[in-house]
Amino acid sequence: MSSQPPRDPSKTESALPDETSAAPDDARNLTQKGMAEAPQPFLAEEDTATATNGREIGVSVIKNVIKTIGSSPGVYRMMNAAGDVLYVGKAKNLKNRVTSYTHPERLSIRIARVVAATASMEVVTTHTEAEALLLENNLIKKLKPRYNVLLRDDKSFPYILITGDTEWPRITKYRGAQNQPGEYFGPFASAGAVNHTLATLERAFPLRSCSDSVFSTRTRPCLQYQIKRCTAPCVGRIDKPAYDAIVGQARRFLNGRSHDIQKALSADMTAASEALDYEGAAVLRDRIRALSQIQSRQDIHVQGLGEADVMAVHVDGGQCCIQVFFFRAGQNLGNRSYFPSQTANLPPEDILEAFVGQFYAGHPPPGLILTSHKLPGAELMAEALALKADRRVAIGMPERGNKRKLIEHALANAAQALARRMAESATQRKLLEGVGEVFGLDGTPERIEVYDNSHISGTNAIGAMIVAGPDGLMKNAWRKFNIRTVAPTGHTENSQGGDDYAMMREVLTRRFARALKEDPERTKGQWPDLVLIDGGAGQLKIACEVFADLGVTDVALVGVAKGPDRNAGRERFFMPNREPFSLEMQDPVLYFLQRLRDEAHRFAIGGHRAKRSAAIGKSQLDEIAGIGASRKRALLHHFGSARGVAEAGLPDLESVEGISKAVAKKIYDHFHSGT
């Protein structure tokens, strides 16, 4: 055991998630050690004797693990009797760190609870502490341990992409893994920010934004060309060198060389004016104005900042907000608020350190990260991020100058965002309490699920589930269900062209059968306290039958039916073993339930329309193996429609350019095999 006092493991040293491995295989030796099993699980903490017994069991498990591990860097996982990961940590010296857990009296209350509930441990060794830091945060993001600081909002950021896999590059918004050839610029804080920038860029750099399939089938310029936001390379209105020149200008602008581009365009405009080409000069003038508009929107700018992220944390009332500002190529690309969980009683610098690690697990780090508080392990964090990014990364807390003003601005935004969230949470909690009272629930519902279906005569049917809780709409838990079992011809007296009852039965059965399989003990937060069904007594009866079949008895069910003439405010509520009732027109709980019902309806309709649009865009030719985009285009150009292809004879098919005799025979057989 080390002679140094054990470090409090509640101070998480986190860095990166989203990857299954944080470092190359040849840079890390992964070995799993001593998965010691406890003789019995820890069951309760309320009773002092039981809590003491639990701590003794946990300490016994940890002592058994210590016998099998060395002093190398690595990552450890502490798990309960059910196998759920409670806590993930990393250490420069695994033996010293894990040994510190055998003295619960020296630990924080939170980590002492982890020790008491620990039934087994897994240990993975790494070559360096930086690799351990990367791996730790990958595991935190993947496993979401109950007692680690967690970054809950981890949606990907949008980028601007100039494609590199086509002869005529296009400029477009892109979100997701950066595996498409081309150049990426960003990240932008929101889709709105990138959409606004793209709209302005199209005026400054009239490049195509259409998909390759649309581009290849154009026969005349589109509206974008008419409003001077595209140069119509699809129909030859611009030659390749001139188009490539605009692409180069867009690249230089997005790389921060906007003033150079403006000077060049100004010189070209002057030359065009002197040559009496006033129309060309006007086009260049409009492009210069568009560039100026983009630059004028950079309301927060620090000369020479280049590529950097600014992060500030504000803590109040046991909650915290982290505000992140993004700067790329000298431009402010917006900001976003984050509200990590499991942060109570932790100092701001530890919260921020855990956040930084997890945040950059899924996003490439910039060259400079400015923070409002000094991170306890800033040097190690910078080393880990540099290892991930394969370039130098600096982390610092500015104390004066323009960079400090940025931090203060971010702190002010974090404080305002947290105040808004706390106010909204208080209102939301009051509404949830009202829902519990209205429906006679045992307590305040923590999770409400709302279900609705959307279809046209049973076709392209979609079921939708939205979820709400104390923090508002929980969009990461929303689900859409492609209806599988209801045919368009299934009619009932209460449906027109589609069996709504059967659809609801399928959706609820799939949802709760999966919940029973994945979370039978109701410990993973997948179970609702209240289920709202968009419909009256009939839909409620179906829901009750599904719950009876599955043996679900502890979830409240309510049907919400629209009032006479489908008037909002006159809804009728149906519950098992209770007469239907309505709420007062001005009741805030009624408005809340209406919003939930309408949100579920909107979500279902959106899914149905997307499915219908995809079906409309399909062709019978898509069902034929070996018919790709080029052959499909050749067939449609030759015969005019898919029906024309279906009615064509074998010799006619063979006469189409690019269609061999074998392919023609395959097409002919596809349409005539049943005759």
pLDDT, mean of residues 110-115: 89
Claim to verify: residue 649 and residue 594 sit in the same structural domain = no
Claim to verify: residue 374 and residue 248 sit in the same structural domain = no
Claim to verify: residue 120 and residue 222 sit in the same structural domain = no
Mean pLDDT of the chain: 80
Confidence of residue 199 (pLDDT cuts 50, 70, 90): confident
437 Cβ contact partners less than 8 Å away, ≥ 6 residues apart: none
Confidence of residue 581 (pLDDT cuts 50, 70, 90): very high
Task: Please identify, among 237, 263, 296, the residue that sits at the C-terminal boundary of a domain.
Answer: 296
Calpha distance 540→409 (Å, rounded): 52
Do 339 and 152 touch, CB atoms closer than 8 A?
yes
Claim to verify: residue 63 and residue 175 sit in the same structural domain = no
Residue 35 falls within a domain, yes or no? yes
Distance set, CA 475 to CA 159, 290, 365, 600, 609 (Å) = 22, 36, 26, 11, 19
CA 412 to chain centroid = 26
Claim to verify: residue 563 and residue 461 sit in the same structural domain = yes
* Higher-scoring residue by pLDDT: 645, 304: 645
When mean pLDDT is compared across 57-71, 379-393, 481-495, the lowest value belongs to: 481-495
What is the pLDDT, as a whole number, of residue 19? Answer: 36
What is the pLDDT, as a whole number, of residue 250? Answer: 85
Claim to verify: residue 256 and residue 373 sit in the same structural domain = no
- Strand, helix or coil at 208? coil
State yes or no: pLDDT of 265 exceeds 50. Answer: yes
Claim to verify: residue 607 and residue 626 sit in the same structural domain = no
Claim to verify: residue 173 and residue 251 sit in the same structural domain = yes
Claim to verify: residue 624 and residue 608 sit in the same structural domain = no
CATH of the domain at 661: 1.10.150.20
Confidence of residue 459 (pLDDT cuts 50, 70, 90): low
CATH of the domain at 137: 3.40.1440.10
Calpha distance 152→408 (Å, rounded): 24
Predicted confidence (pLDDT) per residue in 320-333, tens digit: 999 999 888 777 78
Do 185 and 602 touch, CB atoms closer than 8 A?
no
Residue 473 falls within a domain, yes or no? yes
Annotate 532-597 with DSSP letters as a single string.
EEES-HHHHHHHHHHHHHHT--SSEEEEEE--GGG-TT--EEEETTEEEE---TT-HHHHHHHHHH
Task: Please identify, among 89, 110, 143, the residue that sits at the C-terminal boundary of a domain.
Answer: 143
Claim to verify: residue 287 and residue 324 sit in the same structural domain = no
pLDDT, mean of residues 167-189: 85
281 Cβ contact partners less than 8 Å away, ≥ 6 residues apart: 269, 270, 272, 273
Sign of CA dihedral 543, 546, 550, 553: positive
When mean pLDDT is compared across 361-365, 491-495, 597-601, the lowest value belongs to: 491-495
Predicted confidence (pLDDT) per residue in 347-378, tens digit: 999 999 999 998 888 788 999 999 999 999 99
Predicted confidence (pLDDT) per residue in 415-442, tens digit: 988 888 887 788 888 899 999 999 998 8
Greatest mean pLDDT range, 49-63, 179-193, 537-551: 537-551
Pairing of strands 448-456, 530-534: parallel
Q: What is the dihedral of CA 205, 211, 214, 217, to 10 degrees?
A: 80
State yes or no: pLDDT of 7 exceeds 60. Answer: no
Confidence of residue 258 (pLDDT cuts 50, 70, 90): low
The three-point CA angle 155-161-166 to 5° equals 135
* Higher-scoring residue by pLDDT: 302, 227: 227
Give helix 240-254 / helix 258-274 axis angle, nearest 10°. Answer: 140
Distance set, CA 361 to CA 139, 159, 189, 423, 432 (Å) = 10, 17, 17, 31, 35
What is the pLDDT, as a whole number, of residue 306? Answer: 76
Greatest mean pLDDT range, 69-83, 178-192, 557-571: 69-83
Claim to verify: residue 406 and residue 466 sit in the same structural domain = no
* Range list of H helices, 297-398: 348-359, 378-389
What is the pLDDT, as a whole number, of residue 47? Answer: 45
When mean pLDDT is compared across 30-34, 68-72, 104-108, the lowest value belongs to: 30-34
Which range marks the domain in which residue 162 is found? Answer: 158-296
Claim to verify: residue 265 and residue 332 sit in the same structural domain = no
Do 324 and 118 touch, CB atoms closer than 8 A?
no
Do 540 and 531 touch, CB atoms closer than 8 A?
no
Quote the number of domains for the chain: 5
Q: How many other CB atoms are there within 10 angstroms of residue 170's CB atom?
A: 19
Residue 553 falls within a domain, yes or no? yes
Annotate 476-526 with DSSP letters as a single string.
GG-EEEE--S--TT--BTTBSSS-HHHHHHHHHHHHHHHHHHH-TTS-SS-
* Higher-scoring residue by pLDDT: 297, 403: 403
Predicted confidence (pLDDT) per residue in 478-487, tens digit: 998 988 775 4
Closest CA to 575 of 396, 440, 451: 440
CATH of the domain at 391: 3.30.420.340
State yes or no: pLDDT of 49 exceeds 80. Answer: no
Q: Is there a cis peptide before residue 73, judged by omega within 30 degrees of 0?
A: no
210: left (phi over 0), alpha (psi -120 to 50) or beta: beta
What is the pLDDT, as a whole number, of residue 327? Answer: 86
* Higher-scoring residue by pLDDT: 642, 19: 642
pTM: 0.61
State yes or no: pLDDT of 576 exceeds 70. Answer: yes
Q: Residue 471, class by beta-carbon neighbours within 10 Å (0-12 exposed, 13-18 middle, 19+ buried)?
A: middle
Half-sphere exposure of 166 (CA within 13 A, CB side): 21
What is the pLDDT, as a whole number, of residue 23? Answer: 37
Calpha distance 453→15 (Å, rounded): 42
Specify the DSSP element, H or E, that contains 47. Answer: none
For residue 513, give both structure tokens: 């059968």
What is the pLDDT, as a whole number, of residue 36? Answer: 36
Residue 576 falls within a domain, yes or no? yes
pLDDT, mean of residues 467-486: 85
Annotate 160-200 with DSSP letters as a single string.
EEEE-SSSS--EEEEES-S-SSEEEE---SSHHHHHHHHHH
What is the pLDDT, as a whole number, of residue 457? Answer: 58
Task: Please identify, among 143, 172, 193, the residue that sits at the C-terminal boundary of a domain.
Answer: 143
What is the pLDDT, as a whole number, of residue 28? Answer: 36
Residue 431 falls within a domain, yes or no? no
Residue 455 falls within a domain, yes or no? yes
Calpha distance 534→411 (Å, rounded): 43
Calpha distance 327→313 (Å, rounded): 18
Q: DSSP code of 81?
A: T
Confidence of residue 559 (pLDDT cuts 50, 70, 90): very high
Q: Residue 223, class by beta-carbon neighbours within 10 Å (0-12 exposed, 13-18 middle, 19+ buried)?
A: exposed
Residue 177 falls within a domain, yes or no? yes
Distance set, CA 288 to CA 194, 232, 265, 514 (Å) = 20, 20, 7, 57
What is the pLDDT, as a whole number, of residue 304? Answer: 63
State yes or no: pLDDT of 68 exceeds 50. Answer: yes
Contacts 24+ apart (CB under 8 A), 557-564: 557/531, 557/533, 558/439, 558/530, 558/531, 558/532, 558/533, 559/532, 559/533, 559/535, 560/532, 560/533, 560/534, 560/535, 560/593, 560/597, 561/535, 561/536, 561/537
Pairing of strands 171-175, 182-185: unpaired
Residue 4 falls within a domain, yes or no? no
What is the pLDDT, as a whole number, of residue 13? Answer: 39
The full 3-state SS of 351-373, as one line of letters, equals: HHHHHHHHHCCCCCCCCEEEECC
Calpha distance 51→42 (Å, rounded): 8
pLDDT, mean of residues 185-210: 81
Q: How far apart are the first and last CA of the chain?
A: 83
When mean pLDDT is compared across 128-142, 143-157, 477-491, 531-545, the lowest value belongs to: 477-491
Confidence of residue 570 (pLDDT cuts 50, 70, 90): confident
Q: How many other CB atoms are there within 10 angstroms of residue 452's CB atom?
A: 28
